């Protein structure tokens, strides 16, 4: 099954659990009144885009349509366009679905380093496995660095994935300095002549200052070893995350200089709308989505699909 089929299957599940469709509220030819606007606001807020984003959209609807006879398509399209524009930024974050590596800034003249971070349990390690598979399928040689030396059996988890994928893995003792593991990973990348190094990190809450400093240190160590590293710094966000995703992105960007987001667990009933709230404030694009626990449950972020799945 291709990426999109997977993605779609995930969305199909989502659709099934939704009981009502907002379209019912906007039967063509109805007059848009306060009650309808409010119901609509509910739809928007329930995606986790936040009250600010939802309020802005409702205000625009009110301005353009209130008291008027509305057509369903007209209203939906206004909003979808707005959200697409927001998520795609200046167009640089519109990716080629045919080229699954297109979101990555892979170096042409040397090895690439990808750092992966995020709060606890969002799906970092699994996403790394999925991304490695994608790279491997596209002819890249990948080295993994098991930088989570803290959580119980985190190294074993990544080691199992590396074994399944046939990737080389660099590991440290439990409790070892993650920066030293990253350092050895970078050395291995250079010595082995591989194309990409992906560094896993322990989950950490963005309020833990010392752990955020540690992440910064990992980044600096990588930069010292490989020019311009990390070339990609991916922040993994769980699609079920609420407004805390904003604070996560702000803090992780400071420490790890995030260049993109992986939105994991989009196969559930959560809509992942928090990335809209994030995109309103920061220029960090969503690059990939995770749509399951399997190694192939991973797809390039597609704005159209995502916005459609919000079912607004």
Partner 1 sequence: MFEGITTGLRGALSFIDRGRLTEANIREGMKQVREALLEADVNYDVAKDFTARVSEQAVGERVLKSLRPSEQIIGIVYRELVSLLGGDPDAREFTPESTASLLGIKRDGMTVLMMCGLQGSGKTTTCGKLARLLQRDGVRTMLVAADLQRPAAIEQLKTLGGQIGVPVYTEDPAASTPVQVCQNGVKAAKKAGDVRVVILDTAGRLAIDEQLMRELRQIDNKCAPDQAVLVTDAMTGQDAVNSAKAFNEALELDGVILTKIDGDTRGGAALSIKAVTGVPLKFVGTGETLEGIEPFHPDRMASRILGGGDIATLLEKAQREFDADEMEDAQRKMAEGRFTLDDFRKQMQMINRLGPLRNVMKMIPGMGAMAELDPGIDMDKEVHRIGAMIDSMTLDERRNPDRIDRSRRNRIAAGSGTNPADINKLLKDFSVMGGMMQGVSQMGMKDRLKAVQQMAGQAMSNPSGRMMQQKQRSKRGPLDELKAREKEKRKKKEAKKQRKKNR
Number of residues that bind partner 1 (CB under 8 A): 48
Exactly one of 124, 219, 231, 287 binds ligand GTP (CB under 6 A); that residue is 124
Contact between 224 and partner 1 (CB under 8 A)?
A: no
- Least Cα distance to 308 among 30, 14, 6 occurs for 14
Q: Give residues 126-185 in contact with partner 1 (rule: CB under 8 A).
A: 150-154, 156-157, 159-161
Are 57 and 38 spatial neighbours (Cβ–Cβ below 8 Å)? no
Q: How far apart are CA 77 and CA 60, in angstroms?
A: 13
Q: Which part of the chain contacts Mg ion (CB under 5 A), choosing from 80-88, 119-127, 213-221, 291-299?
A: 119-127
Tell me which of 290, 299, 301, 305 binds ligand GTP, using CB under 6 A: 290
Rounded to the nearest 10 degrees, how much is the dihedral formed by the CA atoms of 173, 174, 175, 179?
Answer: 50
Residue 135 to residue 142: CA distance in whole angstroms: 7
24 near partner 1 (CB under 8 A): no
The separation between CA 91 and the C-alpha centre of its own chain, rounded to angstroms, equals 17
Sheet holding 112-117, edge to edge: 168-170, 142-147, 196-201, 112-117, 232-238, 260-264, 286-290, 298-300
Out of partner 1, Mg ion, ligand GTP, none, which partner does residue 244 contact, by CB within 5 to 8 A per kind? partner 1
Residue 251 interacts with ligand GTP (CB under 6 A)? no
Distance (Å, rounded) from C-alpha 134 to C-alpha 110? Answer: 19
Site for partner 1 in 246-275 (CB under 8 A): 247, 265, 267-271, 273-274
Q: Which is nearer to partner 1, 112 or 201 (CB)?
A: 201
Q: Which of residues 188-227 bind ligand GTP (CB under 6 A)?
A: 202-203, 205
Q: Report what 290 binds from ligand GTP, Mg ion, partner 1, none; CB cut-off 5-8 Å by kind.
A: ligand GTP
Residue 119 interacting with partner 1 (CB under 8 A)? yes
Q: 10 Å Cβ neighbour count for 151?
A: 14
Please report whether residue 151 would count as binding ligand GTP according to CB under 6 A: yes
Q: Which stretch binds Mg ion (CB under 5 A): 53-61, 107-115, 124-132, 167-175?
A: 124-132
Figure out which of the listed residues 267, 275, 277, 311 binds ligand GTP, where binding follows CB under 6 A: 267
Look at residue 13 and give the partner it binds from partner 1, Mg ion, ligand GTP, none, a contact being a CB closer than 5 to 8 Å depending on partner kind: partner 1
Least separation in angstroms between residue 173's CB and Mg ion is 17
For 177-240, the three-class secondary structure string (H helix, E strand, C coil) is: CHHHHHHHHHHHHHHHCCCEEEEEECCCCCCCHHHHHHHHHHHHHHHHHCCCCCCEEEEEEECC
Beta-bridge mates of residue 31:
69
- 36-75: which residues touch partner 1 (CB under 8 A)? 42, 45-48, 50-51
**By CB under 6 A, is residue 121 in contact with ligand GTP?**
yes
Nearest to 212 by CA among 187, 178, 244, 173: 178
124 binds Mg ion (CB under 5 A): yes
DSSP three-state, residue 12 = helix
Q: By the 8 A CB rule, do 142 and 136 touch? A: yes
Binding site for partner 1 (CB under 8 A): 13-14, 16-17, 42, 45-48, 50-51, 119-123, 150-154, 156-157, 159-161, 203, 205-208, 238, 240-245, 247, 265, 267-271, 273-274, 293
Binding site for ligand GTP (CB under 6 A): 118, 120-126, 148, 151, 154, 202-203, 205, 236, 264-265, 267, 290-293, 297
């Amino acid at each position: 099954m291709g990426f999109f089929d997977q993605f779609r299957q995930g969305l199909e599940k989502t659709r099934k659990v939704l009981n009502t469709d907002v379209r019912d509220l906007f039967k063509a030819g109805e007059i848009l009144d306060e009650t309808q606007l409010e119901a609509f606001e509910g739809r928007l807020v329930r995606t986790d885009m936040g009250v600010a984003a939802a309020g802005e959209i409702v205000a625009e609807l009110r301005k353009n349509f209130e008291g008027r006879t509305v057509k369903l398509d007209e209203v939906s399209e206004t909003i979808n366009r707005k959200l697409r524009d927001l998520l795609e930024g200046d167009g640089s974050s519109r990716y080629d679905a045919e080229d699954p590596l297109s979101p990555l800034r892979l170096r042409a003249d040397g090895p690439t380093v990808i750092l992966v971070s995020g709060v606890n349990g969002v799906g970092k390690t699994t996403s790394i496995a999925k991304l490695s598979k994608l790279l491997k399928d596209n002819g890249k040689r990948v080295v993994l660095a098991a930088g989570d030396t803290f959580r119980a059996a985190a190294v074993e988890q990544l080691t199992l994935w590396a074994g399944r994928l046939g990737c080389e893995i660099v590991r440290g003792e439990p409790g070892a300095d993650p920066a030293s593991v990253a350092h050895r990973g970078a050395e291995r990348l250079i010595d082995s002549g591989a194309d990409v190094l992906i560094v896993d990190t322990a989950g950490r809450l963005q309020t833990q200052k010392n752990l955020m400093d540690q992440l910064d240190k990992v980044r600096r160590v990588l930069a010292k070893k490989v020019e311009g590293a990390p070339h990609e710094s991916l922040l993994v966000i769980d699609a079920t995350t609420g407004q805390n995703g904003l604070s996560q992105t702000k803090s992780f960007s400071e420490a790890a200089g995030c260049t993109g987001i992986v939105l994991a667990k989009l196969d559930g009933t959560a809509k992942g709308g928090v990335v809209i709230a994030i995109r309103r404030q920061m220029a960090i694009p969503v690059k990939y989505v995770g749509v399951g626990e399997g190694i192939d449950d991973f797809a390039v972020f597609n704005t159209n699909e995502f916005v459609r799945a919000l079912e607004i």
